[in-house]
Structure 1
Amino acid sequence: MPSSVTATLAPMVGTGRTETTLDDLLDEVRSYTPADAVPAAERLIRRAAELAERAHDGQRRLTGEPFVQHPISVALMLANLHLDPDTVAAALLHDCVEDTSVDIGTIRSRFGSGVAELVDGVTKLDDITVVSLDDRQAQNLRKVFLAMARDIRVVLIKLADRLHNLQTAHVYRPEKRERYASDTLEIFAPLAGRLGIEEWRWQLEDHAFKLLEPERYREIASWLLAERAAREDVVQAVTGGLRDALDTAGTDALIQSRIKHVYSIEQKTQRKNVPLEEVYDILAVRVIVDDVHDCYSALGVVHGAWRHIPAEFDDYISAPKENGYRSLHTAVLGPDARPIEIQIRTHEMHAASEYGVAAHWRYKAGDHDGEEDFSEKLAWVRQILTWQADEETAGSFVDAVKTDFFSDTVFVFTPRGEIKDFPAGSTPLDFAYRIHTDIGHTCIGAKVNGRLVPLEYQLQNGDVLEILTSSNSQGPSRNWVSLVHTAHARDKIRQWFKRRQRAENIESGKELLERELRRLGQGRISQLPGEGLQPVAADLGYRDVDSLLAGVGYGATTVPQVINRLKLTEEVEEADVEPLPAEQPSVRDVQPLVRVLGVGNLLTRVASCCNPLPGDEIVGFITRGHGISVHRMNCANVQNVREPERLVEVEWGGQLVGADLDLPIRLGACCKPRPGMKINGIAADQGIEVHRSRCRAGSRLPGARVRVWWIDETSQLLPVQILIQADDREGLTHDVTGVIRDEGLNITSANVHTNRQRQATMRITVGMGSVGQMARLMRRLETIPSVYSVARDTAGVRRNRSREAAARRNGQ
């Protein structure tokens, strides 16, 4: 693949159209067809071209060129993917039934049922026009899905048809042009990406973007061309250095380079809220090797040659994307500290990434009839983790329908016409739990196509399914576990029974403990002094009081164990809430992080009792001789402080923000930006004022706009304890630590406790730089299978202080 920027932009910047001929098409087909099959392939394609030319005789496109140019161009696009002769012939004939007098019977009699079914499938998709999301869900996507269930090549022809039409869509009426381009971005480009045909995806995106925002498109394209020479110098330096390093390591590799396409650059400017000049990571290098072992060897060479960016590493070889894409992705700081993406893959992986799903249909000798089982032609990883579309992408075709296109998948419809896909063998209960957990729990029956069916009924393609629920339902029956087919539904049912048993155990534990408390003259649990049972729960390793009571109820913890710790808690209670002693053994100097308001330049330290992070609301406490300890606003020690006059107002300091100008920095009081938020800087006489990017007051301030950014979160790491609760299983700890490692974070301590019910409680301390970084990690941890709760935890710190106070009491 050429590194030239011009080569990348050529299909988009209007370099002139050339006429595609039948000879061009036949030359391409000959290039990949086995020699013994070339004569038959040529005869089929010539006959299809002759019929197309006669059928479209006299017809012209809006551009003025003969209409037959369109089907020939579409056929050539499919031939470029090395598709079989039936698909190429169907592409030549795809408009005949709709736009001419030729009917599907004529095509079947002259070219066979294989070609006829493809043409018929494309004809039935030709009315796909997205007027609204409802239309897309109710009717048009139904046709797309049913076509896919039968033959994916129908959709490939439709995508090629769309791509070629986009190249001349500038002649459409403005309203039609805008709708056509919007349809492309919402449906067809994501679909091409889902099918793994990345070149088609970016061409669809760029052509559509050019139609929707021509001025912005030209601005980005011109900027890319203007910077071409400088970028190609960087590419040459990187590829040359990489070639030398790989040769030294004895790794044989093909090295290619490219730049990112126009629409992806526009998305990056929007996502990062930066101008074009600040988009640096637009260069990408591919390293193509012989086998998987060489992939990881090459990765070591790359990381040894340049400083890599840990957050930008992805291993799609061990964990392929949902469309089957496999590759190693990393990013390094190249010349002038420019980020450069490097992809490492085998030749086989590269072919799959170039051809996508079409790679499974590439023409092979001995496979002329195309009757190989469809599931053997697709090698896709089923998406099972996300059950609802993300709010930001809810309008996209792929996320709205979540199809995996396997032949063992059934597509059913809600009463509103929405499409849902399930593994073959799924039942109405699988459907109910997919919609919402509460729908599943309260399900009392189901109707399919208007008729009542048993809950064990197996869903069929095209079923319209209605779930019947009742607020009086007693919940799932135990035999439901054997009725459902999906792991998602099975897990939800099991969790319901665990929680139900948990409630019974809590009640039993409460009764046992209060019986003993009454015997000792202590009254009820609610009458216990201080925090009651919370310190005892923390000391025994439970996440909360209810978990402790459940443990007593099912026998994991005895009543005497609880009573003894209640006495211990009473003995050290005063010491445990001693407000902020003068000597805090577990605080660290982080003066650059915090600014004290109205007091001057005092030493500030982060308190270990609550471990505040940049982004938390904080307050300072003036200690005796040790500066100011900084606490979270809701810290228990702050709430119980005996000398409130020693509390002072503090805020995360300007040192967290970097700027292009060396001026004092202050955070806007109107919007109070916090680390991780998108920010803008406005320069004035007094310095730079930082506001959230969407702050209206900030946008109206006079002064020059200055580039500002949050300083690297990892520059000052503070300990944060994360509490994870999950159903225990093999590999759970490995998965949790893997996510933390992938985030580029360091684990400083970890404790795992599993009770008799195989429920795991993990307390992991991780060094972090901001609340935003913590939130990202917690969101990722929540996606791990069997994890049902992730929270920031301070109980461990409180428990340790309780033990330290007890030790001091005992003179240890």
Structure 2
Amino acid sequence: MVKVRDDLPKTQDGSIDIEKWVERVGENYPEEHKALLRQAVYLNLENGGHHLTPVNESCLKQGLTAAEILSALKPDIDTLVACVLYFPVDFGELTVEHIQEALGKQVASLVEGVSKLSYHSAKASISQTDEQRDNLRKMLLAVVEDVRVVLIKLAEKISALRAVNNLDRLVKLDLALEARDIYSPLANRLGIGQIKWELEDFAFRYLEPVAYKNIAKLLDEKRLDREIYIEKLLGIIREALAKEDLNAHVIGRVKHIYSIWRKMIRKNIAFQDIYDVRAVRIMVDSVQDCYAALGVIHGLWQYVPKEFDDYIATPKENGYRSLHTAVIGPEGKTVEVQIRTFKMHDEAELGVAAHWIYKEGKKQESNYQHKINSLRNILEWSAEQEFESDVALKQELSEDRVYIFTPKGEIIDLPLGATPLDFAYHVHSDLGNRCRGAKINGSIKPLNYILNSGEQVEIISSKTGGPSRDWLNPQLGYLNSARARSKVRSWFKRQAREENIIQGKEALDRELKRLHLDMASIKPHLQKFQARNMDDIFAGVGGGDIRVGQILNLIQQHSLTNDSNDIPVSVSKINNLKKKNTEVTIQGVGNLLCHFAKCCNPVPGDPIIGYITIGRGVTIHRQDCLGVLEKEEEAHRLIQVNWGEFTKELYLVDIYIEAYDRQGLLRDVTSTLSNEKINVLAVNTRTNRENNIAQLTLSIEIPDLDTLMTVLNKILQIPNVLEARRLGKQ
């Protein structure tokens, strides 16, 4: 049966004997840790310990029960203390601030983490689909900042299941479903067998009471008796292996009631045909030792025909390797024996052929599995080792997915960095196309808001309409999943070519003007996009097949391909700009001193031309610079130049911003530039009081056109901003 631990110690008047409990649970802890545990118990008692939890137990009793369950895992003292204090915080009068003041920030953080985990778990609906249940388990791990929180939550669930027997049937069913579908698989993946089987057996007892009682009778022995039997068996095996000079680690496990029932159903066999009700696992140094240990076992007891499997010679499809045999052990009882090397055991438990994967019939997911492995390793640390919840460990345990709630409590699995628009397109293409806004946990957020695990998203949609072409602009950050971008492109492809040409031309023209470039700079690149003319380019942009950023990148890279006669020439510093290693290639001449013209301030990507000065080398202008166009009578002094090998240097660019004036406008603009790591060299502002229009001119340093485009797009998203573009020579 599932109850295997004694009740809490009592005094003569029937109340909980706190001192005896502290001594029992703190047996393996130093005196100073026992003192902290004692302090936590009295803090519970004095701050709502008498209040009842949802399973009709006092906060004190359920806290002590959960902590005693957790103590079997030998956690650090902070985890144990937090387990005692979680219940009066959620159901009593204790506050996290009070805990932090009394026992420190670490304990308070753990208690707060368990409350957060409970909140997210309560928001979810226990779905009928395996995928939804798996997503909920992943989401619970994703929202956890400190992995010890998971252990406390598992102990809390067992304490609730132990207390729920006499409550309403519906309460028991809800807890049992949650234990079976969510927390038992989590315990399994963490490798905590004693927690896993108790969760499963309690769930089975409440969900299938008749089947549970039948199997319990068939076992014809109490669980503690079976464990005593296994301990005696282990002694015999260890002694026999030692006589053969085999270095072996021998452990035993008793197959629990739910596991027996699953095997009977899965294999359609009777109870008498199950040979691994009692099981032993032997781990040795080498493959040769595996077969030597098998010989020892078969020498001790008669083996059961047809129950031998050599998964070392013939591994399972998932790579699982081990020897499995069944023997008639002492007292005529059947025992299953698994033999493997230590390396095989690590592979089976930690990723290559994880036991839970083939048990649950699921494929491995590398990043999620890595987090599970890290959690398992924590459980193997000794009680004396202090757990360090530092930044490095949190990064190691981070997921590359986020898990988001729908308004109905279902969980959607999205890539890290997903936005409300990605969420909408994941739910349905039509919802994404009609999306006009989003509420995150009840508050309206922009469509390029980055979602976090555990948040609930509600999409605000129109009855008709379609997506915006701005959604395909990566600098604006509306869509971060390839799936959603593909759906938006597909929508635009279905629109008329004429409309795509008009929309694409407008979008491209708008970006080029903001960067002070012209359409002529695109024509040399038509073949790159398999376009016959500019209309094909416009249609591609309008339909989403060509991104404006792709075109700008080609313009920027165009001059990087030089012929063999090109000679790189170093550029001198202008206005203290960082251009030490920047190179411009001048065709057909030797090394010449060159510098950038102040009138147009060219940056990498701009079409450029050189003007031979008298005594100052070559001045580099943009090709559309008025200062060059006005020198037609000196055309013989103009030479062809290209950008040399691109380096991450900074270039001076003037930008113009027009906006409705308001308090904090300049601060918002400079904050945006600071967030993008853009250096501002000069600022000039002017406000027309008649129309309340503010005009800002800023001189900034940028490395390339792509960065400039990103900056301008970010500025356009600032409230009240009407226009943001690059300035050219007037």
TM-score (norm: length of structure 1): 0.42
